[in-house]
Structure 1
Amino acid sequence: MDIMISKRLSTLGHPNRLAVFRLLMRRYPDHVPATELANALDLKPNTLSTYVSALMQAGLIEQERVGNSLRYSVDIEAAKATVGFILNDCCRGRPEICLPFHGDPRGKISGKEDEKFNVLFICTGNSARSIFAEAILRDLSPERFNVYSAGTKPRSELNPFALEVLVHNGHDVSRLRAKNIQEFQTENAPVLDFVFTVCDEAANEECPAWQGQTISAHWGLPDPVRVEGADAEKGLAFRESYRALRNRMMGFTALPITSLDLISLQKAVDDIGRSKEKG
């Protein structure tokens, strides 16, 4: 998919090929004769042929023959996929970038007045930080949020130091388990309202765009699993991660989510992620 999108963007990087595509987009769903295209864009027939050939190879336009005439039209699904990649993948669906193209840039998160918000926390292993976040938010506000966590690694298991910290702070750990992010990328997965990465490595990895109008942010923290030394030092690192995440969850639950427009909401969750508090 990425290779094809890259080819399409490269193809559209040529001003005259872009001009052909834009004209066909303006004319959609018409199939425009090649002679009309050449005349409208002041192109020689053989030059136009080179441009439309490149656009067809990139999957951006379609060709049909009517008698002796070749006619062209935009492949609207390809155009949709290309624009969707730019907005949702490259720009991660950020409202301050994407909403001007989707509609009201001051719209609010929709359809959630009487429903819970679905929140996913992601790290690489889903063994400590994202598990902390899941447990804390679920217990802080069970009436407002359905909370999930996942890791980007194929397999993982809960860290015993993390479990010890959770139990010490009164959390029920019986239903917690390490999960892979692929569980949330299926057709039957919950539509996510918020996705937060809680480690830098996970944020650096490529991830498919989320369906729906998802607010995403990076709330990275140091990995307590990597701390070396005696058990006391390791335990301290896990407790610090727990406290930092609890502070962020307290800030998140205090947000008037349904009252904020999406741009303000995005800024608010970004600001929470900028916090350097450790407890």
Structure 2
Amino acid sequence: MENNLAAYTFATLGHTDRLAVFRLLMRFAPQGVRPTEMAEALRLKPNTLSHHLSDLTAAGLIRVARQGRSLFYSVNLDLTEALIGYLALDVGRARPDLLTSLSRPSRETPAMSDKIWNVLFICSGNSARSIFAEALLRDLGKDRFIAHSAGTRAGSQLNPFALAVLERNGHDTATMRSKHIGEFQQPGAPVMDFVFTVCDTSAAEECPPWPGQPITGHWGLPDPVKAQGTDAEKALVFAQTYGALRRRIEAFAALPFASLDRLSLQNRVDAIGSDAFLEN
């Protein structure tokens, strides 16, 4: 990366709100986000956000694509990689004392074929979508995973429609409960290998980096709790949400973990979380 381009991109990210926009988009990467959703999550006025998006786009840090009537902004991962590489390799001269903490494994792990993976699913309320995901991976994972779920909002309760869907599909719900994300951020909590957000609200939340550098992904789905209509119509929405998550969990559990490196795993996780995956 040329020095002038590096200086330009660093200067663009040097504004607090622009950096916040970029950080939010990184949490959704490689997927895009609508401006209205960004403005709500970051509590920015639409015209202010528009200026920041324009500056980030001009610097090449983000891209914009139109889908129907909506604009979706996403991170330019190629430039982001180049910028990080510039810091580490050019400015940092690849000094081992700067790079060791980034490149070394965070902890000793067993052989990939023998490993049992800790997986956390996060939603805003931990009442339906993340509960579906926890139950599905627990029961479809063939003892290769320890599934967890949590919500970013305190005081949530399991939704009765969600429980009915799980029980109808043969999942044991006796020990399931709604949990706050704080349970998994305490000393002694399980160290996660994968962390997935299954709603846009939780993905937009500012969260400290997870210990152990887990692979992260965004598998967002609409909130079935917001469904309107009769009980039968609501139950149908919950069943459809369960079905969409089941497809993703089945694909994830079937991945050949022993033969995939970290980058390949990240790419597979991103593909499973895409809209195209559910459409095929």
For residues 75-224 of structure 1, the aligned pairs below 5 Å read 97=81, 101=99, 102-103=102-103, 110-113=109-112, 114-224=114-224
Give the TM-score, by structure 1 length: 0.62
Contact 1:197 1:219 in 2 (8 A): yes
Residue 90 of structure 1, CA deviation: 9.4
> For the residues of structure 2 that align with 1:189 and 1:130, how far apart are their CA atoms?
18
Residue 257 of structure 1, CA deviation: 1.4
Residue 104 of structure 1, CA deviation: 8.2
Contact 1:243 1:278 in 2 (8 A): no
Residue 265 of structure 1, CA deviation: 0.6
Contact 2:24 2:204 in 1 (8 A): no
1:258 match: secondary structure: helix
Question: Which residue identity lines up with residue 232 of structure 1 in the other structure?
Answer: A
Give 5+ residue unaligned stretches, structure 1: 1-12, 15-87
Contact 2:219 2:274 in 1 (8 A): yes
> For the residues of structure 2 that align with 1:211 and 1:89, how far apart are their CA atoms?
19
Q: CA RMSD in A?
A: 3.0
> For the residues of structure 2 that align with 1:128 and 1:91, how far apart are their CA atoms?
25
> For the residues of structure 1 that align with 2:265 and 2:257, how far apart are their CA atoms?
7
Length, aligned pairs only: 190
Question: 1:237-278, CA deviations, whole angstroms, 9 ceiling, x for partnerless residues?
Answer: 000000000000111011111211111110100000004527
Name the counterpart of 2:268. Answer: 268
1:217 match: secondary structure: strand
> For the residues of structure 2 that align with 1:126 and 1:278, how far apart are their CA atoms?
25
Question: Which residue identity lines up with residue 146 of structure 1 in the other structure?
Answer: I
> For the residues of structure 2 that align with 1:260 and 1:115, how far apart are their CA atoms?
13
Residue 161 of structure 1, CA deviation: 0.2
Residue 112 of structure 1, CA deviation: 4.8
> For the residues of structure 1 that align with 2:265 and 2:226, how far apart are their CA atoms?
33
> For the residues of structure 1 that align with 2:126 and 2:164, how far apart are their CA atoms?
16
> For the residues of structure 1 that align with 2:162 and 2:143, how far apart are their CA atoms?
25
Residue 115 of structure 1, CA deviation: 2.8
Contact 1:136 1:246 in 2 (8 A): yes
2:189 match: secondary structure: coil
Residue 141 of structure 1, CA deviation: 1.4
Determine whether 1:231 maps to 2:226: no
Question: Which residue identity lines up with residue 144 of structure 2 in the other structure?
Answer: R
Change (3 A) 1:90 1:103: farther
Change (3 A) 1:203 1:225: same
Question: 1:196-249, CA deviations, whole angstroms, 9 ceiling, x for partnerless residues?
Answer: 000000001111110003000000000000011111110010000000000001
Change (3 A) 1:90 1:224: closer
Structure number, greater radius of gyration: 1
> For the residues of structure 1 that align with 2:179 and 2:268, how far apart are their CA atoms?
28
Contact 1:89 1:209 in 2 (8 A): no
Name the counterpart of 1:6. Answer: none
2:257 match: secondary structure: coil
Question: Which residue identity lines up with residue 111 of structure 1 in the other structure?
Answer: P
Question: Which residue identity lines up with residue 229 of structure 2 in the other structure?
Answer: G
> For the residues of structure 1 that align with 2:279 and 2:163, how far apart are their CA atoms?
19
Give the TM-score, by structure 2 length: 0.62
Question: 1:28-69, CA deviations, whole angstroms, 9 ceiling, x for partnerless residues?
Answer: xxxxxxxxxxxxxxxxxxxxxxxxxxxxxxxxxxxxxxxxxx
> For the residues of structure 2 that align with 1:238 and 1:218, how far apart are their CA atoms?
19
Residue 110 of structure 1, CA deviation: 4.6
Residue 111 of structure 1, CA deviation: 3.2
Give 5+ residue unaligned stretches, structure 2: 1-9, 12-22, 30-76, 89-98
Question: Which residue identity lines up with residue 149 of structure 1 in the other structure?
Answer: S
Determine whether 1:244 maps to 2:231: no
